[in-house]
Amino acid sequence: MSMENKVPVIALKDVNKSFGPIDVLHDINLEVRAGEVLCLLGDNGAGKSTLIKILSGVHQPTSGTIEMDGNPVVFDTPRVASEKGIATVHQFGGTFALMSIGRSFFVGVEPTKGWGPFKVFDRKKANAIAVKAVQDFGITRIDDGDRLVGGLSGGERQSLAIVRAVHFGARVLILDEPTAALGVKQASHVLRIVNQAKKRGLAVIFITHQVMHAMAVGDHFAVLIRGAVAADFRKGEKTREQITDLMAGGETMANLEAEIENYMQSHDGHPPAAH
């Protein structure tokens, strides 16, 4: 069965979102299949975070529906979304800096699953499970579950959060700018982990401002401009330059160069170009 024929794990159908009189999202239609990465691109304020808050149960759509496996679902709360297999990882990979790796791995799992595999929290067992999970993802530098999360690099923290989501059975992994604060090496580390999550069959939604990061993992790209999907294309259909131009809100590089040229002329004492 080809990619196109598989039923999407998650889909948005004609989703609109307003906050009072402010319309933030307009008729959003998007879908993500198992083993596929959808990159959500767009400038500041385009509506990316609002869209993922709808997918993670933080906000309700004003109209339109969410479907999982072709069936309508309602995510009343983040808890409901999480129980249905939606995992969201934010920019800094969670806020467990003062917790050990083993302990942080099971945070939030206890109430629903009775400490996961334990009756009483067992530090050694938790450490062993967490370390094995991260090592299975190829992160061999993490070998001591007693280490504090705060002592990990930014990229390792992000990777740990992704591994944790996969380990506990997430089907949809939402990453809101996971590489934004990272250097080249750390970012490529996280991108590798994203590719592994995809290989394990998760449907991944990856938000980024960095075109190169998107191109390294994306199968499918959607560009949001002022709350609407302005472009929706698959890998290989557009060049890096075309994607960059789209993300700048339809501004082409040529426009930008003309603007800079004008600016430089006026600052050299020349009058601004006549209109």
> Footprint of ligand ATP on this chain (CB under 6 A)?
19, 22, 24, 42, 44-50
Return the number of the residue (47 or 178) whose C-beta is nearest ligand ATP.
47
Q: Is 49 in the site for Mg ion (CB under 5 A)?
A: yes
The residue type of 241 is: E
Q: Which residues of 18-38 are buried (b: 16+ CB within 10 A; e: fewer)?
A: eeeeeebbbebebbbbbbbbb
Q: Which residue is nearest to Mg ion (CB)?
A: 49
Contact present, 34 and 7 (Cβ < 8 Å): no
Q: Which does 129 bind (CB under 5 to 8 A by kind): Mg ion, ligand ATP, none?
A: none
Contact present, 89 and 197 (Cβ < 8 Å): no
Return the number of the residue (16 or 49) whose C-beta is nearest Mg ion.
49
CA 167/CA 80 separation, integer angstroms: 18
Q: Which does 263 bind (CB under 5 to 8 A by kind): ligand ATP, Mg ion, none?
A: none
Q: Which does 47 bind (CB under 5 to 8 A by kind): Mg ion, ligand ATP, none?
A: ligand ATP
What DSSP line would sit under 132-156, residue for residue? HHHHHTT-TT---TTSBGGGS-HHH
CA 8/CA 4 separation, integer angstroms: 9
Q: Which stretch binds Mg ion (CB under 5 A): 48-56, 73-81, 188-196, 208-216?
A: 48-56
Q: In angstroms, what is the minimal distance from the CB of 32 to ligand ATP? A: 18
Q: Which does 145 bind (CB under 5 to 8 A by kind): ligand ATP, Mg ion, none?
A: none
Return the number of the residue (52 or 190) whose C-beta is nearest Mg ion.
52
Q: In angstroms, what is the minimal distance from the CB of 262 to ligand ATP? A: 27
Return the number of the residue (75 or 106) whose C-beta is nearest ligand ATP.
75
CB under 8 Å to 273, separation ≥6 — which residues? Answer: 262, 265
Return the number of the residue (12 or 134) whose C-beta is nearest ligand ATP.
12
Vertex 12, ends 9 and 15: CA angle to 5°?
Answer: 165
Q: 213-252: which residues touch Mg ion (CB under 5 A)?
A: none
Give the residues lining the site for Mg ion (CB under 5 A): 49
